[in-house]
Structure 1
């Protein structure tokens, strides 16, 4: 055998080995792709989740007194504050699902210097469940510059008037946005103060499932607005299964890429394409309206099944909904747009035609100039509960708050027939 023929055989051997390697890699990649398309589980599953209570497990009925045991400023600008709450009766606290929220009945009489002033608001729990305290983290909402709208009543009340030792009236934890039982890899996506329920999920996993893969994308303008950044970095440094991506849309001159943040820009599907391995991730998303309105449709267009997209939005974004399954459409079908539906507000003496573009009954009432007290705008607090004089409604989602018979929650329902409301 000549040296030339030996060289040819060596090259052929290398080519065969390279071909086998590429073939096996392609086959594995193809199998992963098929699992994603068909909704099949991962080939390798971690141990099943433990320590999660049932969504319907009982907490307590009505409101319960809690004492503020500690408050901590979480950001350099002093705009985000955490409140640690302990039960005034000293009794044990029920656990909750990471991602759920608390509902507060706030007495603003002294703070606002007027007559009786009570409002109801909901705030996400921002830590893993503990046996002796609950934690919420609230961002102060200032008055919009150049606008007639006032500053946020509840957030400013917490920041200015709720000190250590204060007593608050609290409903039991609730909410449908929470980390589901299982061990599938997750992508946590937050914008601004939307980080709070996702912190609860992250911290729970660190305690109960430290091996579970977590990809955490957090979007904010720059380091000046960042809260809990040290906690996120510590979590990523302590567990190889936690991968952190800080995205600054408007970094400060002193913010350095690679040191203070990982991506210059907003959180989006293009970033997911670059950073995420091909796996059947579940996406948990909480952030401001612009993020939700952009990201949710983009994930659907990317091919992520609705069953793997979980989100919570606040205010105007709370009406966002993904494409419903056929069964859900049949159960919560909107009225035929061709059929005009008249909604009458008895106390206000107003009557108007509702259409599918009118949004929820709360949106519709506000558009007609009908004043309705509201809180969470997501079916959680019960503030907008209104008596139905005649007619029927359909719920866009199952509310967390259980309305009384003969009433409805305007923020999450639409008219099913001609409707008269006591509002």
Structure 2
């Protein structure tokens, strides 16, 4: 009888323990959900279906052809087709591709290099197009080397070359509010995502009013000129303004007509009827740093102002994390690197934090869009100021835009 009672009691203890574990799991899940809710987004539902990655990891693409887009041959389009021969799923105009390359360093050893390039045309089920400008040393710093990846692509990538590519990504994409005019403002090679947006809008939103402002140094640097003129001639609601900052002397050809100088609010206000449209801006750092704040001051609503910079532009977006010095530092451990470092709050993201302490993490866009830096979270939690554009795998994080909530262990 004693053994029987002890067995019943033991079964009761086991059942109680199991129930306690289940209850604890429910509580923890509820707390995690509430944290996500309080942060303003649910990671599972953060991205529209149209922005989800079309495939995981990299996919092999073959260069089908290449085409020079300007007179100097410094801007080249590459047409890429999937090696597997499967049709390409539609992407959203404005998105980019991430390329993972193996290039020789100064010692001749191969090292991994990641770059992101905008898709430069609307969707084609058989091939993608990117358009890349050769990056040269600045005029005032001729001692600096030319761009590593752009030089490689221009000099060595020919039809037949195989490239490893991640799926289209990014949230710098055209909205679907066909009643609101769209204003596209491009500087230099920043035209690539905006040209794709214009083509997509004319195909899918033909009744929409579209203004494209395109800033170049002179008409020799202009790309897609024939297509732009055709679009303007065929679509009365497509308005093109080409602005040259340094026109060629004595050039009176049709290609050089239009305003001179730089795109600014004075120019925009003289042409646009109002500020009630959606504004999309893409260009070099100097342009972005001056124009985006000026558009805000002019009265463009924050939710109607969309921008993407190439290079280290600083334009003060409202959605970034800000440094928050902590009285008690958090502990961040990089498991594979064998480093444990105090997070004091002076960095805004884990990627900058890691690099500052000599820990090398892979990176690409540095804006939460490409997924190159995606890293395993072994323990702890990572927060973001806004939902990442990249669809993060469960149990992983994006160090480029994430910061620790508490003590953290990363697999890097």
Q: TM-score range by the shorter chain?
A: 0.7 to 0.9
2:384 to 369, 389, 395: 395
Contact 1:121 1:381 in 2 (8 A): no
Quote the Cα distance in structure 2 between the aligned partners of 1:412 and 1:240: 42
Quote the Cα distance in structure 1 between the aligned partners of 2:216 and 2:270: 20
Matched, 1:267 2:256: no
Using a 3 Å threshold, how does the CA distance of structure 1 residues 407 and 276 change in structure 2: closer, same or farther? same
Shift, 1:193, TM fit:
0.8
In structure 1, the gaps of 5 or more residues are 1-52, 325-331
Q: Secondary structure at the match of 1:61?
A: coil
2:124 to 124, 127, 130: 130
Quote the Cα distance in structure 2 between the aligned partners of 1:137 and 1:207: 21
Shift, 1:66, TM fit:
1.6
Shift, 1:163, TM fit:
0.4
Shift, 1:336, TM fit:
4.4
Aligned to 1:139: 133
Aligned to 2:398: 409
Aligned to 1:168: 163
Aligned to 1:48: none
Aligned to 2:373: 384
Aligned to 2:246: 250
Using a 3 Å threshold, how does the CA distance of structure 1 residues 310 and 106 change in structure 2: closer, same or farther? same
Aligned to 2:32: none
Using a 3 Å threshold, how does the CA distance of structure 1 residues 402 and 97 change in structure 2: closer, same or farther? closer
Quote the Cα distance in structure 2 between the aligned partners of 1:307 and 1:138: 30
Aligned to 1:150: 145
Q: Secondary structure at the match of 1:264?
A: coil
Contact 2:120 2:131 in 1 (8 A): yes
Contact 1:100 1:125 in 2 (8 A): yes
Shift, 1:349, TM fit:
5.1
Aligned to 1:98: 93
Cα shift readout 1:88-147 (whole Å, capped 9, x = no counterpart)? 2222111111111112222335x9883443322221110111122111111111244636
Shift, 1:320, TM fit:
4.4
Cα shift readout 1:274-324 (whole Å, capped 9, x = no counterpart)? 11002621001111111111122111112211111111123423x745335
Per the normalisation by structure 2, the TM-score is 0.77
Matched, 1:293 2:293: no
Aligned to 1:71: 66
Aligned to 2:77: 82
Contact 2:170 2:370 in 1 (8 A): no
Quote the Cα distance in structure 2 between the aligned partners of 1:161 and 1:386: 32
Quote the Cα distance in structure 2 between the aligned partners of 1:279 and 1:422: 47
Aligned Cα RMSD in Å?
A: 3.0
Contact 1:306 1:322 in 2 (8 A): no
Using a 3 Å threshold, how does the CA distance of structure 1 residues 390 and 59 change in structure 2: closer, same or farther? closer
Shift, 1:201, TM fit:
0.9
Using a 3 Å threshold, how does the CA distance of structure 1 residues 255 and 308 change in structure 2: closer, same or farther? farther
Contact 1:257 1:263 in 2 (8 A): no
Quote the Cα distance in structure 2 between the aligned partners of 1:198 and 1:121: 19
Matched, 1:303 2:299: yes
Q: Secondary structure at the match of 2:400?
A: helix
| Higher mean C-alpha displacement, 259-268 vs 283-292 | 259-268
Contact 2:183 2:212 in 1 (8 A): yes
Q: What count of residue pairs does the alignment treat as equivalent?
A: 361
Q: Secondary structure at the match of 1:121?
A: strand
Quote the Cα distance in structure 1 between the aligned partners of 2:69 and 2:381: 46
Contact 1:175 1:400 in 2 (8 A): yes
Quote the Cα distance in structure 1 between the aligned partners of 2:328 and 2:138: 37
Matched, 1:233 2:229: yes
Cα shift readout 1:333-373 (whole Å, capped 9, x = no counterpart)? 757446464565653858466446x4433334444454433
Quote the Cα distance in structure 2 between the aligned partners of 1:165 and 1:65: 12
Shift, 1:417, TM fit:
3.8
Cα shift readout 1:244-303 (whole Å, capped 9, x = no counterpart)? 111122222134498514222211122111110026210011111111111221111122
Quote the Cα distance in structure 2 between the aligned partners of 1:67 and 1:199: 23
Quote the Cα distance in structure 2 between the aligned partners of 1:342 and 1:149: 39
Contact 1:314 1:376 in 2 (8 A): no
